[in-house]
């Protein structure tokens, strides 16, 4: 019985460590987009042809329409948990180097740096 308890305890400890390990502070390069367009604004921009929208215009317009900022890196779309970060609006649609705490598909952004030279 004692051994059984000890085994359960260890399993709990391991689960705790595993969840800690999955939340990692990382820096990635990618673009700030919106939850409507995700990896590509091409569809939206095509719908609004003649308006000469840029990726940035599109991301800002989508967020204004009630969507959320997302971060796209290597074709993967990350949800951003801290939407009110001013840099998201500043760098919307742009290529950035983004630092944050990644947890599965979501990221809590701590720093956004432009990769424009
Ligand atoms: Cu958009």
For the segment 47-69, what is each residue's pLDDT rounded down to a tens digit?
988 888 999 999 999 999 999 99
Distance from residue 55's CA to the centre of ligand 1 (Å)? 7
40 pLDDT more than 80: yes
Distance from residue 78's CA to the centre of ligand 1 (Å)? 15
Distance from residue 45's CA to the centre of ligand 1 (Å)? 8
- pLDDT-based confidence at residue 24 (cuts at 50, 70, 90): confident
In this structure, is residue 19 part of a structural domain? no
Distance from residue 25's CA to the centre of ligand 1 (Å)? 27
- pLDDT-based confidence at residue 11 (cuts at 50, 70, 90): low
CA distances from 32 to 5, 52, 70, 99 (A): 48, 19, 6, 12
Q: Domain span at residue 55? A: 24-114
Confirm if 112 and 71 have CB atoms less than 8 A apart: no
In this structure, is residue 29 part of a structural domain? yes
In this structure, is residue 110 part of a structural domain? yes
CA–CA separation, 71 and 79 (whole Å): 7
11 or 110, which is more confident?
Answer: 110
In this structure, is residue 2 part of a structural domain? no
CA distances from 42 to 54, 67, 89, 92, 94 (A): 10, 17, 20, 15, 15
Distance from residue 33's CA to the centre of ligand 1 (Å)? 7
pLDDT of residue 38: 96
In this structure, is residue 55 part of a structural domain? yes
In this structure, is residue 98 part of a structural domain? yes
Q: How is residue 83 written in tokens?
A: 């939407």
5 pLDDT more than 80: no
The phi and psi torsions of 41 (rounded to 5 degrees) equal: -95, 0
In this structure, is residue 41 part of a structural domain? yes
Tell me how many domains the chain contains.
Answer: 1
Distance from residue 36's CA to the centre of ligand 1 (Å)? 6
Distance from residue 39's CA to the centre of ligand 1 (Å)? 9
In this structure, is residue 50 part of a structural domain? yes
CATH number for the domain including 46?
Answer: 2.40.50.500
pLDDT of residue 10: 64
pLDDT of residue 50: 80
């Amino acid at each position: 019985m004692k051994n059984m308890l000890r085994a359960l305890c260890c399993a709990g400890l391991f689960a705790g460590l595993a969840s800690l390990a999955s939340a990692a502070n990382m820096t990635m390069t990618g673009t700030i987009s919106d939850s409507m367009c995700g990896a590509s604004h091409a569809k939206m921009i095509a719908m609004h042809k003649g308006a000469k929208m840029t990726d940035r215009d599109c991301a800002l317009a989508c967020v204004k329409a009630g969507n959320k900022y997302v971060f796209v890196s290597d074709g993967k779309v990350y949800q951003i948990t801290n939407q009110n970060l001013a840099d998201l609006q500043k760098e919307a649609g742009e290529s950035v180097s983004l630092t944050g705490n990644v947890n599965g598909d979501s990221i809590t952004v701590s720093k956004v740096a432009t990769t424009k030279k």
